[in-house]
């Protein structure tokens, strides 16, 4: 993976840029000492790192606007950062950029249960949005695995999903309004507490734009009343194909579970050892969760287990208690941590049409064998969002590169069968150079023209999302 060469003219002006940023920020909001900048050299895609020119940590929309205005005038690239949990390198710096972090902007600005909205500063973490309303029986639905740490700003930038979006949708479906600061410092209000756009849906455009159109500083989010209850069941099969069939059969019969999660044998074994969840040792396992009153849950789980039993399962286990539900989920939720204890891994995020699941799983196994690597699969099966984990040893020369090549092959396969490169993590730098596999030149050109409108100088997160050679001309003009 390449990043553009830093602009020497900016590096040589560091003192002047820092001086001007200091003028618009309080003392502790500006970081520019080399040893302190190391904390911001990467995000959760830790294979790549580069300390930035400086880091600013503003506390308000006004301060964000002032910082962006300075950077715009100085023609310094800006990389926005939420909590730095991106698995795609969305917040990876270049040496000539200013990192704009929103981590100190964590206030709840307004809560309104009658209108079912909460307005927050976007540095607030995902889980603490729910934390602010759950005592009153409400929650914020998108639940990425990193929800303890990840910020709403990053959720909006990447249009994050989670395990429960089969029923509740992803970030864009739960975002009603945003305060957005453009690169030149202009503050724009999009949407609000009402439910649709009057003119063009610019809010929908900004959500998922990976920090390339503007910095979202405040967000109005839809909150939902908590269901009366929720309970999972666990279903084990001796073949991935059968698990795929079971998912399709459940959906066809007219039940929409709140989550359908899938794990294969390597993942089941690793997570069970790690968490003591008590999973069956089988080729494929589903966790299917439904919501409602006890009777409603019983009714839905009855139908689901009936469907499963027709497919000759290894095990069907319906949770009988809160504790058992927590145990069933524990393994799934600790999957990435458990795999991380055993190996280095690359976590992919392609989505495929649900019907292609058996075929794609078989092909992934064959491809992995071809590269001499192992792949563990854990993913949101109801919506086809796969997370193949490619296991490798970072200390062995060349293994990272081999693992990355396998990752590219798997993502190309996802596109070939009618899917996409990324379902919820974003493109960042990780999938940037694969974009041409999914989009034709005019499609990418159309997206870049939209960025031109918001950020004509291509200063906001410029080296992400689009293949470097595709965006080269625009970035070159910006550097002149």
Partner 1 sequence: MADLVPASELELAEAVRSARGSLAIRGGGTRAPQAEGDVLSIAGLTGITLYEPGALTMTARAGTSMSEIGEALAAEGQRLAFEPWDARAVLGRSGTPTLGGCVATNASGPRRVSAGACRDAILGLRFVDGSGEILKNGGRVMKNVTGLDLVRLMCGSRGTLGAITEVSLKLLPGVAATATLTAEGLSVEQAVRAMAAALGTPFEVTGAAHEPQAGATHLRLEGSEASVSYRAERLAAALGDHGAWSVAQGEGPWPRIRDAADLAGEADLWRISVRPSRAPEVVRALPGRYLLDWGGGLVWAEAPPGTDLRADLPGIGHATLLRAAPETHARLGSVQPEAEAVARLTGGIRDTFDPSGRFRARPVAA
| Residue that has been written with the tokens 């579970």 in this structure | 257
Distances (CA, A) of 13 to 9, 19, 462: 6, 10, 20
Total interface residues for partner 1 by CB under 8 A: 96
> Binding to partner 1 (CB under 8 A): which residues in 411-430?
418-427
Q: Does 189 bind partner 1 (CB under 8 A)?
A: yes
Distance CA 231, CA 299 (A): 12
Closer to partner 1 by CB, 23 or 452: give it. Answer: 452
Which x/- pattern, by CB under 8 A, does the window 90-119 give for partner 1? ----------------------xxxxx---
Q: Pick from 86, 126, 325, 351: which binds partner 1 (CB under 8 A)?
A: 351
Closer to partner 1 by CB, 345 or 454: give it. Answer: 454
| Residue that has been written with the tokens 């690597």 in this structure | 373
Distance CA 396, CA 450 (A): 42
Which x/- pattern, by CB under 8 A, does the window 353-372 give for partner 1? xxx-----------------
Closer to partner 1 by CB, 81 or 451: give it. Answer: 451
Q: Pick from 145, 172, 240, 242: which binds partner 1 (CB under 8 A)?
A: 172
Helix pair 335-342, 265-275: axis angle to 10 deg: 90
CB of 419 to partner 1, least distance (A): 5
Q: Pick from 78, 133, 158, 391: which binds partner 1 (CB under 8 A)?
A: 158
| Residue that has been written with the tokens 């409108």 in this structure | 453
Q: Which two tokens stand for residue 279?
A: 């999973």
> Binding to partner 1 (CB under 8 A): which residues in 388-407?
none
CB of 290 to partner 1, least distance (A): 11
CB of 347 to partner 1, least distance (A): 15
β strands within 314-372, DSSP E: 315-318, 344-347
CB of 452 to partner 1, least distance (A): 7
β strands within 82-229, DSSP E: 98-101, 108-112, 117-121, 138-139, 175-181, 187-191, 215-222, 224-225
Residue 372 falls in which region: left (phi positive, over 0), alpha (psi -120 to 50) or beta? left
Q: Does 385 bind partner 1 (CB under 8 A)?
A: yes
Closer to partner 1 by CB, 108 or 193: give it. Answer: 193
Q: Does 137 bind partner 1 (CB under 8 A)?
A: yes
Distance CA 158, CA 154 (A): 6
Residue 50 has phi, psi (to 5 degrees) of -165, 120
Q: Does 451 bind partner 1 (CB under 8 A)?
A: yes
Q: Pick from 31, 188, 314, 468: which binds partner 1 (CB under 8 A)?
A: 188
By the 8 A CB rule, do 216 and 179 touch? yes
SS3 361: helix
Q: Does 293 bind partner 1 (CB under 8 A)?
A: yes
Closer to partner 1 by CB, 30 or 157: give it. Answer: 157
SS3 163: coil
């Amino acid at each position: 993976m390449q990043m553009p060469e830093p602009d020497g003219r900016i590096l040589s002006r560091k003192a002047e840029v820092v001086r001007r940023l200091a003028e618009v920020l309080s003392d502790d909001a500006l970081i520019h000492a080399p040893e302190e900048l190391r904390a911001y050299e990467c995000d959760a895609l830790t294979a790549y790192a580069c300390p930035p020119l400086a880091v600013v940590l503003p506390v308000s929309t006004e301060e964000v606007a002032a910082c962006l205005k300075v950077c715009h005038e100085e023609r310094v690239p800006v990389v926005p950062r939420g909590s730095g949990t991106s698995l795609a390198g969305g917040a990876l710096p270049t040496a000539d950029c200013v990192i704009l972090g929103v981590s100190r902007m964590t206030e709840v600005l307004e809560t309104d249960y009658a209108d079912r909205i909460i307005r927050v500063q976007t540095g607030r973490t995902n889980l603490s949005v729910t934390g602010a309303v759950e005592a009153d029986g409400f929650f914020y639905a998108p639940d990425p695995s990193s929800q303890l740490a990840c910020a709403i700003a990053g959720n909006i930038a990447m249009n994050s999903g989670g395990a429960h979006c089969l029923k509740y949708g992803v970030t864009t479906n739960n975002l009603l309004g945003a305060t957005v600061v453009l690169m030149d410092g202009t503050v724009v209000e999009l949407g609000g507490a009402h439910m649709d756009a009057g003119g063009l849906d610019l809010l929908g455009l900004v959500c998922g734009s990976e920090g390339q159109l503007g910095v979202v500083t405040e967000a109005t989010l839809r909150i939902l009343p908590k269901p009366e209850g929720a309970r999972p069941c666990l279903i084990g099969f001796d073949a991935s194909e059968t698990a795929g069939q079971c998912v399709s059969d459940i959906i066809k019969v007219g039940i929409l579970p709140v989550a359908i999660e899938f794990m294969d044998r390597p993942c089941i074994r690793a997570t069970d050892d790690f968490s003591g969840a008590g999973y069956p040792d089988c080729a494929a396992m589903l966790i299917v969760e439904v919501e409602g009153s006890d009777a409603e849950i019983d009714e839905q789980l009855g139908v689901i287990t009936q469907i499963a039993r027709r497919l000759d399962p290894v095990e069907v286990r319906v949770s009988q208690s809160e504790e058992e539900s927590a145990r069933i989920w524990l393994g799934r939720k600790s999957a990435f941590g458990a795999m991380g204890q055993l190996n280095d891994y690359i976590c992919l995020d392609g989505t495929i049409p649900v019907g292609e699941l058996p075929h794609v799983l078989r092909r992934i196994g064959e491809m992995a064998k071809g590269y001499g690597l192992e792949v563990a699969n854990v993913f949101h099966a109801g919506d086809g969002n796969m997370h193949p984990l490619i296991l490798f040893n970072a200390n062995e020369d060349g293994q990272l590169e081999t693992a990355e090549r396998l990752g590219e092959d798997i993502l190309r396969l996802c596109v070939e069968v009618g899917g996409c490169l990324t379902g919820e993590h974003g493109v960042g730098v990780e999938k940037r150079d694969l974009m041409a596999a999914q989009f034709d030149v005019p499609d990418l050109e159309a997206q870049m023209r939209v960025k031109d409108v918001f950020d004509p100088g291509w200063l906001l997160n410029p080296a992400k999302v689009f293949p470097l050679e595709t965006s080269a001309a625009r970035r070159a003009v910006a550097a002149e």
